[in-house]
Structure 1
Amino acid sequence: MNKIIKITVLSIGHLLIDLEGIYLINKQFNDYDFKYIAFFFIIYNVIAFGLQPFFGYFADTKNKYLHFVIIGSILPIVAIFIKDVGIVAIIISTVGNAMYHIGGGVISVNLYPNKAAPAGIFVAPGVIGVFLGIFLASRAFSYEYVIAVIGIIVIVLIFIIFRGFELKSEYKKINQNFVKIIILILLIVAIRGFIGSMLMFTWKDNTVYDILLVAAIFLGKFFGGILGDKFGFKEVGIFGLIVSAPLLLLGYYWSIAGLIGALFFNFTMAITLFLIIDNLGKYKGFAFGLTTLTLVIAFLPKALGISISFGFTYYSTILILVVLGSYILYRVVSLDEKNNKLREC
């Protein structure tokens, strides 16, 4: 029960961290020209996600995960109260975002060694935080104090729950083929990120459907690891990808197909995150950061205005990438299973 409380509080903290960062940049949208906001958004993603491998490596070598959680929780709260200083507020918020992701992610995974479920449980609430950040920033009312009070309550809870906490970092020996496994995992992450950035739904600009889509993504990320632990990573991950492909394509017109497809599509998130963390020994924070850096790279084409027009190219690209991602996932899990058997010998 104590572990469940810990991971629940860390997950709520993750929701708040993403909410605070997105709320900040969307509030600034009202005060700055679009060109500045576009620049701020790039800075936000580069620091918050692109630099996570460096934050992760530092946390790994110094074992400062809980420190990262505390400092990472405080900085975004400070940032929303100094939003008028523009880029400085963005940098403060994003540094906190990166630190919290690394600290909270590694602690969550270490609470339940050899399980993918914690990765999904910790990461999943982030999509809700992003949605709420955009939604609250669009309201006339200023929510800075409300967000700050909730954030401070969570920080106090973290202090209380983790008082005297010592992180027992259990990790496996790094295998000789780890480079191959890491590259293959990052390819899956890149494929998932690229597909996610290119998907088109005609029904998406509707608040109710937006909420349902967020819920579907949340549930997919949340339950992917849980189901993977129970039924197998190959079975759940590959099933999720293959089934999601036709549903996502049909989802261009039909919302129910798109929503179910989004749920299945996100099953692989927790599985791939766990596998990369599990294969980099004590460098779990660095591993976590590699996945976020890969997502930033995968979203670059979309950020640069590159898109695929709806039609044959759109359909074929999605299908080919899903099949490729499924094959790569099969290879990764097979290699990981082989390594685990060798360790037992």
Structure 2
Amino acid sequence: MGKTAERRLGAYALLHFFVDFACILLLCGPVRQELQTHAEWALCMLLYNGCAFALQMPFGVLADHVRNDRLTAALGMLLVAIAWLMPVIPGVERCAIAGIGNALFHVGGGRYALAYGSGRAAAPGIFVSTGAVGVWLGVWAARGGLWPYDWTRLAVGLTMLGAAFLVYWKADAAEPSVAVPSAPARWPRTGAAGLCLLLTVLLRSFLGGLTAFPWKTGALSFACVLCVAAGKAAGGLLGDRCGFARTSALALCAAAALFLPAFSVPAAGLFAVLLFQTSMPLTLSALTRLVGLQNRGFAFGMATFAIFLGTLPDLLGVADAFCTPAALAAGTLLSLALLLPGLGLGFARRREETA
């Protein structure tokens, strides 16, 4: 991997921010205006999240067979551009189109980042870190009334269209080459490790919806999102340097302790969120090691499907009852209790296969 591949990884991370920004601005702006009731809005949110997250698993399996990350990512951005540039399409349908486009882009960019990392966590951590900032800014722009203007629709749609063209046209020299032979599966150990890792992702997604701190408004809300992004990026870097298990144990134990005063002390909440997010790229990389780099689209899709399942309580409005410091702290420790066996079983399997 040379400089060109590094620049392409950075480009995918930047585009991840813009794709999420464009989708959320569309959803919370023009689509929200078309809907008449809160029930319609809730259904639309569920539809978007289902398309954007749950569909990444079948798309990932398909991408593992096609093995053309640039085409997958470019097609996703093309669909997001269509959702913006075709206002004659009803809002709910545009929401579904944008969600499918978001899923395809994530699969294409995620496969590239995982191939670039070759089992390490820094590259996928950098790729996934920018999405949360895009989501926050999309909501902020919609609330600020940026979306009604025709120039916004054209600017976002045409920018996305141009990015799709550039990603597809300028990628040949940077495509990572991965040739990893399939190893005989040891299903009891592999299945147990995979289940632990996926439950960790699901639980982390659910707990992320509980961080509705009373002080999380205005500048502090943006600071919290920056901590989410920084935690994901730092987690991959620290995991590669210090080890996945050690990094996860130290970060999540500290996060659990900081969650206890987090609702009344903003600094504690910000550091807790940052530390809590460090395990995200480690879990993703561990899943990829478990199933093999040749199946990295499937691994990425499994993780996002677990994320979708974890968001359902929040989307259905039943998560508020668990929004307490004790629940966050206990859930963080439970996440660690699931993650460490998943890492141990999965990495032991890889050591056996390479022995």
* TM-score (ref. length: structure 1): 0.93
Alignment partner of 1:150 is 2:155: no
Instruction: Provide Cα deviations, 1:115-169, integer angstroms capped at 9, x if missing partner.
Output: 1111111111100110111122223343223323433443344245413554412
Task: Output the CA distance in 2 between the equivalents of 1:258 and 1:165.
Answer: 40
CA contact (8 A) 1:54 1:286 kept: yes
1:32 aligns with 2:32: no
Which of the numbers 334, 345, 354 marks the counterpart of 1:324? 334
Question: What CA distance in whole angstroms lies between the structure 2 residues aligned with 1:36 and 1:170?
Answer: 47
Structure 2: stretches of 5+ with no match in the other structure:
none
Once the two structures are superposed, residues 28-49 of structure 1 have per-residue CA deviations (whole angstroms, 9 ceiling, x without a partner) of: 2123213322221111001110
Equivalent AA in structure 2 for residue 128 of structure 1:
V
Structure-1 residue corresponding to 2:196:
184
Q: CA deviation at 1:308?
A: 4.7
| Corresponding letter in the other structure for 1:178 | T
Give the counterpart of 2:25 among 11, 23, 26: 23
Counterpart check, 1:260 vs 2:271: yes
Matched, 1:219 2:230: yes
Q: CA RMSD in A?
A: 1.9
**Which residue of structure 2 aligns with residue 339 of structure 1?**
349
Question: How far 1:13 moved relative to its partner?
Answer: 1.2
Instruction: Please give the secondary structure, in 2, of the residue aligned with 1:9.
Output: helix
1:228 to 239, 244, 247: 239
CA distance in 2, matches of 1:25, 1:83: 13
Describe the SS at the equivalent of 2:318.
Answer: coil
* Alignment size in residue pairs: 342
Confirm or deny that 1:305 pairs with 2:317.
yes
C-alpha distance in 1, partners of 2:185/2:48? 35
Distance 1:327 1:113, change over 3 A: same
Q: What SS does structure 1 have at the residue aligned with 2:220?
A: helix
1:304 maps to a residue whose letter is L
**Which of the numbers 200, 203, 206 marks the counterpart of 2:212?**
200
Distance 2:143 2:184 in 1: 47
| Contact 1:24/1:83 (<8 A) preserved | no
Aligned: 1:82 with 2:82 = no
Counterparts of 1:124 and 1:237, CA distance in 2 = 17
Deviating more after overlay: 96-105 vs 82-91: 82-91
* Equivalent-residue separation in structure 2 for 1:244 and 1:157 (angstroms): 40
**Deviation sequence 1:199-218 (CA, Å, 0-9, x none):** 331101x2201110111000
Letter in 2 for 1:62: V
Alignment of 1:114-129 (within 5 A): 114-129=119-134
Aligned mates of 1:4, 1:139 — CA distance in 2: 35
Spell out, residue by residue over 1:177-221, the C-alpha distance to the aligned partner (whole angstroms, 9 max, x if none): 2211111100111111111112331101x2201110111000001
Amino acid at match of 2:156: I
Supply the distance in 2 between the matched residues of 1:158 and 1:309 (Cα, whole angstroms). 44
Measure the CA separation in 2 of the matches of 1:52 and 1:174: 25
- Residue pair 1:13, 1:73 contacting (<8 A) in 2 also: no
Structure-2 separation of matches of 1:98 and 1:291: 12
CA distance in 2, matches of 1:257, 1:323: 17
2-side partners of 1:307 and 1:155: how far apart?
Answer: 37
Q: Distance in 2 between matches of 1:60 and 1:307?
A: 35
Q: Which residue matches 1:14?
A: 16
Q: How does 1:106-145 map to 2 (within 5 A)?
A: 106-141=111-146, 142=149, 143-145=152-154
Which position in structure 1 is the counterpart of 2:63? Answer: 59
**Alpha-carbon distance, 1:96 to partner:** 0.8
Q: String of CA shifts for 1:78-127, please: whole Å, max 9, x gaps.
A: 10122452122112111111111111100111123121111111111100
3-state SS of the aligned residue for 1:198? Answer: coil
**Counterpart amino acid of 1:319?**
A
Q: 1:292 offset after TM fit, Å?
A: 1.1
In the superposition, the TM-score normalised over structure 2's length comes to 0.90
Q: Note if 1:99 corresponds to 2:125.
A: no
Tell whether 2:183 aligns with 1:173.
yes
